[in-house]
Amino acid sequence: STVTYLFEGEILHRDSLGSAQPIRPGELNWMTAGRGIVHSERTDPEKRDHAQRMYGIQSWVALPKSAEDTAPAFAHHDAATLPFIEDGGLSMRLIAGEGWGLKAPAAVSSPLFYADAVLLPGARLPLPAEHEERGAYVVEGSVEVAGTVFDAGRMLVFRAGDALALTAGPRGARLLMLGGATMDGPRYLFWNFVASSRERLEQAKADW
């Protein structure tokens, strides 16, 4: 599944299911490729007459082996439908999954969490304890974890069970928090194809 989330700008999603959905900051586009889909994400032709900034991240979520050949699907969720909290210098939107006592509306195939967190200087964000694998991508600013400072562009991966919190640095921080259940085996990638075996990957290439 591809998970598209923007901080600035707008992009138009189209796919072979007939979807034509703009995505704007704070909204969620969740597309499940399953046994096969074709899609594009481009600037709407009507908006190409002037320069604009586009800033966001697309993440890929591996489907469990039992769901690899599921039917392709697409879902869009407006920002207003995604859980949002503000507390002690923390503003956080739960994009997908469950964490921190919140649950997002997007249908997922395995236990996970994905959140956009903005922290004022000195604000703290604990890791959700209920997930086995947990990580944080530092989008902006810096954070301190157990005495070590990490700047923007770093991906942090934490050990299972560690009760840790991230503290924003003097310029604050913006983080994408993510994780969930351990995958049921390795995944192989070629171009836009992902599969649990090299044989499935070769078949996908042949089908394409």
Instruction: Specify the pLDDT at position 158.
Output: 95
Q: What are the residues whose beta carbons fall under 8 Å from the beta carbon of 95, sequence distance 6 or more?
A: 3, 5, 28, 82, 104, 106, 114, 115, 116
- Answer whether residue 48 shows pLDDT above 90: no
Q: Which helix (H) or strand (E) holds 207?
A: helix 198-207
Residue 22 in contact with residue 78, Cβ under 8 Å? no
Mean local confidence (pLDDT), 140-163: 95
Mean local confidence (pLDDT), 77-105: 97
pLDDT in tens, 161-171: 888 999 999 99
Tokens of 142: 């810096």
Instruction: Specify the pLDDT at position 133.
Output: 95
- Answer whether residue 50 shows pLDDT above 90: no
Q: Which is nearest to 192 in space by CA: 31, 48, 49, 25?
A: 31
Mean local confidence (pLDDT), 1-17: 96
Instruction: Specify the pLDDT at position 179.
Output: 96
- What are the beta bridge partners of residue 21? 13
DSSP string, 17-74: T--EEEE-TT-EEEEE-TT---EEEE--GGGTTS----EEEEEE-PPPGGGTTPPPEE
What's 107's DSSP letter?
A: -
Mean local confidence (pLDDT), 80-107: 96
- Answer whether residue 125 shows pLDDT above 90: yes
CA distance 108 to 131: 15
- Answer whether residue 47 shows pLDDT above 90: no
Residue 32 in contact with residue 57, Cβ under 8 Å? no
Mean of pLDDT over the chain:
94
Residue 186 in contact with residue 196, Cβ under 8 Å? yes
- Answer whether residue 96 shows pLDDT above 90: yes
- Answer whether residue 62 shows pLDDT above 90: yes
